[in-house]
Structure 1
Amino acid sequence: MPLSDTTIRKAKPVAKPIKLTDGDGLYLLLNPNGSRWWRFDYRRPVTKQRNTLSFGTYPDTGLADARARRDEARKLLASDIDPGEHRKATRTASEDRAANSFEVVAREWFAKQEKTWVKSHSDKILLRLQNDIFPWIGKRPIAEVSARELLTTINRMVDRGAVESAHRTLQNCGQVFRYAIATGRADRNPAADLRGALPPVKPSHHAAMTEPNAIGGLLRAIDTYAGALVTRCALRLAPLLFVRPGELRQAEWGEIDLDAAQWNIPGSKMKMGEPHLVPLSTQAVAVLREIEPLTGDGRYVFPSARSPRRPMSNNAVLAALRRMGFAKNEMSGHGFRAMARTILDETLHYRPDFIEHQLAHAVRDPNGRAYNRTAHLAERREMMQGWADYLDSLKSDACSLMQSEGFASEFAAQPRIVVVGQAGTKASQEKRG
């Protein structure tokens, strides 16, 4: 007789396992310890050997579910398919799908790339993936993610107004898909099909002062800043060095050689992941010597007010600019870089590649190779000193009255010897540029 739930519940365990048969190879094995296991006996299609499949335990697997699994197995047998081998293949396929999910592949790609990125940059990428991608397509096999599915996921960022982040995240997803293709886990990159599918990013620029009189007023305001010495010194160095705000606030005394007048920033702190050398003008050295008695015994040049074991806040310089009355659309922490780039090029007429190299932008030599951190060091050192002298001139009342034009013209007209070529030969005297 076929089994019923009542029959199963009333069955009592005995000293030996007993079979409660349901029919067509299905039975419930009642063990002495009281456990009830569903079993299905069958003969393999080719060898005709007896084999047994387990369908789970009762009551987790009910009678109706056990019968449904038996019927599925019998259909496979009718097609000369071994249900045991079919189960193994299905399980393996499921495991492969899980092992090749978008999240698994993305994290593998991230782990390989992370070593070449600055920590702040890698943190942003991982947060984008964790917050905006993994919850939606993270468990999907990467080879099965379609362009439409990816667009739907990315558009969630667009809908909340994060258009620029959406573009960056789509770019990261494209890099993950290309890695999957290279490692044999996908055949195509659906991110490439979404070119032009997102709304364009509205261009935004960091506010910067490039007019000499305005710069002079800013510099005088910085010199008279009434806040903490650490913040005032950071403000004074920002225009002199024009490094990125994150690089400035994380400066360490162990990276700075005041006697050699240079700051060696390790690649781990740089946006491009390459070490960078910043020549220090006499004015910059003077600022560092001023703050050295206060923070020189610690790790950071500009430590946090709350803990010397951490650098100053990411917004410290920006907040100080606001307290001095400079609006958001007038000046920003990044604006010192735009200020230096514009004036050094358009007013002081330094060679663009010297400026770009000092800004730590990607600069290539004639053979397409990236310059190392010491490239054009002598020229960059002179440029940084000339820049500091020019800034000093802007602070003076006389220079402000003349709108700084006299100094800039006289400064740009001075001759200099430029060293060119890898052999170090000297060219004739010529103007900057």
Structure 2
Amino acid sequence: MPRIVKPLTDAQLKNAKPQGKPYKLSDGGGLYVTVTAEGSKLWRLKYRCSGLERTIALGAYPAMTLADAREKREEAKRQIVKGLDPLVEKRAAQAKEGGRDSFKTVAQEWIAKQSNRWSASYAKTVTARLENDAYPKIGHLPVGAIRAADVLEMIAAIEKRKAFALAVKVHQLVSKVLQYAVVTARSERNVAADVRSALTPVQTEHLAAVTAEDDLKDLLGRIDAYGGSPWTRYALNLLAHTFLRPSAMLGVRWAEVDTDARVWSVPAARMKMRRDHIVPLTDATVGIFEALRAIRGRSEFVFPNHRTEGMPMGASALHSAMRNICDGKEAHTPHGFRSTASTLLHEKGYNSDVIEAQLAHKRPGVRGIYHRGDYLAERREMMAFWSQYLSDLRERSPLQQRA
């Protein structure tokens, strides 16, 4: 038999004294007052909506009278009957009153401040992740009113799709936005930090890459024998020779390539470190560009997207081709050419700084980032060696010898 709660009276509320620790006085229907250790009297309403139990803060007594609190309770009941969540409705009203401090507004401000250090593709990825998974859940809420439970609910929706790695990345972005809100005095604390331990652990997977000479020889032969699009075949060969990130390479425009000066200048917008990057061209890479120029259409892109005019080829085409080349196995990825080159060039005795500069990695220590001209003469010599090394392996490939 349910417990019958006797309604509160004004006299009880006035006479309620602190007892050294918080305690509750219930009015029924989920409405109660918490009397704090210091003597404050705070109205709270506990309710269930969509199968979830929630608690909403209504105000403090006596500023909010007993009658006012009861009216708030009845208003919440009416909202629930209509399928609305009183807590969400309250926060939406707060966001409307102070829209400049909503999570979405603060996130957009944070992106604007950070994006000058990002590549265009990374900025697009950050924006898409927030738009797809954060804004629909917490975008309308004032940053100062977001609870750890709100962030957890957002993450749970992503994990429900089995997108555990994405959940971690979205959590990291939300945490950075909320930390920005703290330092700009729009929130007291970063509640996303409380949720970190509740995330489903994700095992880091290294991108597959061949790092043994015989395996590389076989892979190069398979790429040459690939019967798909010639642009895809040329793109994979160019990746092997230049070991750029696929996103940086696929966006190449003809205006960036000077085969006479034997230089390819990749603009900062496509580089992860947001710095212009020089790729010394070799006999082999000049040959690839000349072959591509022979089949060039009207596009400004070296690797045009044949489905979407005015866009470059997407990385998915390279991944699909590589799976085909590797007989459906994840033996190597387009990004893996970076590991391949790094491993084998180190084994050949090349200076680590020269290799890292060509990979456009972040420099350890004070200077932070390799500049476009760092070790350029040494990189020219190393890239010439690497291209010749790959060409020699191709000639020795069993597939090449059968051709």
Please give the TM-score of this superposition, normalised by the length of structure 2: 0.70
Q: Look up the match of 1:363.
A: 363
The SS at the match of 2:295 is helix
CA RMSD of aligned residues (A): 2.6
Counterpart contact for 2:95–2:101, Cα < 8 Å: no
Aligned length: 309
Residue 144 (1) aligns with residue 142 (2): no
Question: Which deviates more from structure 2 when the two are superposed, residues 375-384 or residues 198-207?
Answer: 198-207
Q: Look up the match of 2:256.
A: 255
Post-superposition offset of 1:232: 2.4
Q: Look up the match of 1:189.
A: 190
Structure 1 moving runs of 4+ over 4 Å: 92-96
CA distance in 2, matches of 1:283, 1:94: 59
Residue 393 (1) aligns with residue 392 (2): yes
CA distance in 1, matches of 2:197, 2:315: 34
Q: Look up the match of 1:348.
A: 348
Amino acid in the other structure paired with 2:175: G
Q: Deviations over 1:16-47 (max 9, x none)?
A: xxxxxxxxxxxxxxxxxxxxxxxxxxxxxxxx
CA distance in 2, matches of 1:244, 1:398: 25
Counterpart contact for 1:207–1:328, Cα < 8 Å: no
Q: Look up the match of 2:213.
A: 212
CA distance in 1, matches of 2:148, 2:207: 34
Q: Look up the match of 2:155.
A: 154
Q: Deviations over 1:308-347 (max 9, x none)?
A: 63212322223333333443321211121121111112x2
Q: Look up the match of 2:18.
A: none
Counterpart contact for 1:302–1:311, Cα < 8 Å: yes
Q: Deviations over 1:197-246 (max 9, x none)?
A: 31221121222111211211111222333333322221221210111112
CA distance in 2, matches of 1:310, 1:107: 26
Q: Using a 3 Å threshold, how does the CA distance of structure 1 residues 208 and 327 change in structure 2: closer, same or farther?
A: farther
Percent identity, please: 37
Post-superposition offset of 1:94: 6.7
Q: Look up the match of 2:268.
A: 267
Q: Using a 3 Å threshold, how does the CA distance of structure 1 residues 387 and 149 change in structure 2: closer, same or farther?
A: same
Q: Look up the match of 1:278.
A: 279
Q: Look up the match of 1:375.
A: 374
Q: Look up the match of 2:239.
A: 238
CA distance in 2, matches of 1:382, 1:196: 49
Post-superposition offset of 1:377: 0.8
Q: Look up the match of 2:315.
A: 314
Post-superposition offset of 1:142: 0.7
CA distance in 1, matches of 2:248, 2:382: 20
Matches within 5 A, 1:11-410: 96-295=97-296, 298-306=299-307, 309-345=310-346, 347-364=347-364, 367-397=366-396
Q: Deviations over 1:280-327 (max 9, x none)?
A: 122111111222222276411111234663212322223333333443
Q: Using a 3 Å threshold, how does the CA distance of structure 1 residues 125 and 393 change in structure 2: closer, same or farther?
A: same
Post-superposition offset of 1:114: 3.0
CA distance in 1, matches of 2:112, 2:135: 16
Q: Using a 3 Å threshold, how does the CA distance of structure 1 residues 329 and 163 change in structure 2: closer, same or farther?
A: same
> Higher RCO, 1 or 2 (CA under 8 Å, sep at least 6)?
2
Counterpart contact for 1:136–1:153, Cα < 8 Å: yes
Counterpart contact for 2:95–2:140, Cα < 8 Å: no
Amino acid in the other structure paired with 2:354: F
Amino acid in the other structure paired with 2:252: A
Post-superposition offset of 1:176: 0.8
Counterpart contact for 2:94–2:142, Cα < 8 Å: no
The SS at the match of 1:220 is helix
CA distance in 1, matches of 2:286, 2:96: 60
Q: Using a 3 Å threshold, how does the CA distance of structure 1 residues 391 and 100 change in structure 2: closer, same or farther?
A: same
CA distance in 2, matches of 1:157, 1:95: 27
The SS at the match of 1:278 is strand
Counterpart contact for 1:118–1:271, Cα < 8 Å: yes
CA distance in 1, matches of 2:318, 2:219: 13
Q: Using a 3 Å threshold, how does the CA distance of structure 1 residues 398 and 334 change in structure 2: closer, same or farther?
A: closer
The SS at the match of 1:263 is strand
CA distance in 1, matches of 2:309, 2:161: 38
Counterpart contact for 1:393–1:399, Cα < 8 Å: no
Amino acid in the other structure paired with 2:396: D
Instruction: Return the index of the structure with the highest Cα Rg.
Output: 1
CA distance in 1, matches of 2:297, 2:254: 7
Counterpart contact for 2:232–2:321, Cα < 8 Å: yes
Could you list the runs of 5+ residues in structure 1 that have no partner in the other structure? 1-74, 76-91, 401-433
CA distance in 2, matches of 1:375, 1:95: 52
Could you list the runs of 5+ residues in structure 2 that have no partner in the other structure? 1-64, 66-92
The SS at the match of 2:149 is helix
